[in-house]
Structure 1
């Protein structure tokens, strides 16, 4: 340590001992809390603010087929389509997304600043996609991927959905039914198509992998999104909620019903 005043050093070390640093017979070591702080610093979360302006990548919009662009700032990778309305209107995008004029927002994924190191725009997108998928798998089970507290899982269905190939004027979404998972302790929340509620289910994962689709590290983000976007939802009942999901891949169909029992149970509580 580049500290010449041993008294000052010992004072600050003493302040850290207990919660962040442990004292052993061999000396001192970081405890779990201390390691988390060091990880946050090294990831750039508390020290860096890099920006990457909208940049074309070698992936296509899974709605219209146009080449998409990615932008990085505030520890998030946002994906935009320059030719269609995207997945949500501006009202459903977070304020920090700041959708460029004429672009559609396809979604955003968290990525610490260190995720940009040594990666081009395509690699940044893949890193953010894999990290985001991993987080949402955890959140879909009712466990917060940030603080480990319980999440509240919800499904919302638009009563009068009229997307007509774009974004619905009533709900502001392209999909008529969406799944969300919000932490009951911290500020983590995520949402997407209702199919995301199944991301941790064994039968669903087996169906995907049997068709060569790896949710965590797909060969092609576009091919994966094209495959999982090819699903239908049938709202059997609004109160109580009951939604049937039908996903077809290579001629095979996976069917699952999402209802209140599914949301109240969850992998986390079982």
Structure 2
């Protein structure tokens, strides 16, 4: 445990792996005038405008500060971290945009809640009706009858099929079905970015690995790991600590692999979003993801998972290693094709 000594500030003591530059950046935010400057620059910003800089005098007027020297001092502290100074004036750097956007999308809005509301989406585990609910910045897709995919985690409702941590802005002008679709799109985007090794939050490197329960229950949700599945694909960013956990049979984990795209294209199944149904599920056409996409844990040391796609008598198998990389691809059931290289 890190212990504070007489020469450290609380901010320095808490920084840990964040590093000195992060500590310095946080320290400059501890002033109302500086926060007002960031908000004023964000208010002045308009996407697609050719010019978004704000002159010193105009920025001071927007903040409402009479003392020019004091204002200049606080503005100077922000430059380099959150604000960019050009010959034409001042504008937010990307870090400044992200900071204000996070506040606006999260704490800057009322904290909305959505009571469990039924949606037109059957449970993929048991086929029962499902509901969507939003509480404390978490959106949950929940089965009304079975125990879902996860157990009694602290914040997870009973029967949870999926949970996504989303800013309150996600509920703006959306009906429950649209809310679930938005969560699906956001989750898919995060997952695909993670698979490609890029953090969707900070653009840092994303680490992936297969996590296996040491003592998994045979049926239902395991009391040891609170998951229905023995193995999960996990991703974590070492820079900002963004993370995600996914079922290996989740088709989107490997859906953009060239072999998968070619497999479905050969069977006339375009991997597109189905706008006709109002659902952002992939258009499989005569393919039931529950029945035709499966996975198997084939080794545990190191972990290896085989994901199998089936369609019209043909099978495509992809093997994932412990770092969630595709290391082998094979196809059976199509004339002239027995095996593909990765």
Cα deviation for residue 255 of structure 1 reads: 0.9
Counterpart check, 1:189 vs 2:243: yes
| Structure in which a larger fraction of residues adopt strand | 1
Paired residue for 2:332?
A: none
Alignment match, 2:149: 87
Question: CA separation in 1, counterparts of 2:131 and 2:224?
Answer: 27
Please name the residue that 1:204 is paired with: 260
Q: Which stretches in structure 2 are left out of the alignment for 5+ residues?
A: 1-61, 328-342
Assess, with a 3 A threshold, how the Cα gap between structure 1 residues 14 and 246 changes in structure 2: closer, same or farther: same
Q: Secondary structure at the match of 2:155?
A: helix
Q: Which structure has the greater CA radius of gyration?
A: 2
Give the root-mean-square deviation of aligned CA atoms. Answer: 3.2
Residue aligning to 1:115: 170
Distance verdict in 2 for CA 1:234–1:16, change over 3 Å: closer
Displacement of 1:113 in angstroms is 1.4
Distance 1:22 1:235 in 2: 51
Instruction: Name the CA distance, whole Å, in 2 between partners of 1:42 and 1:252.
Output: 49
Q: Which has the higher contact order (CA 8 A, sep 6+)?
A: 1
- Find out whether 1:133 has 2:188 as its counterpart: yes
Equivalences, count: 257
Structure-to-structure mapping, 1:3-42, within 5 angstroms: 3-7=64-68, 8-42=70-104
* Cα separation, 2, equivalents of 1:181 and 1:112: 20
Distance, in Å, in 1 between the alignment partners of 2:117 and 2:248 is 29
SS in 2 for 1:229: helix
TM norm structure 1: 0.79
Hey, what's the Cα distance between the residues in 2 that align with 1:45 and 1:38?
10
Gaps of 5+ in 1: 266-270
CA shift in 2, pair 1:10/1:63, >3 Å = same
Structure 2 length-normalised TM? 0.64
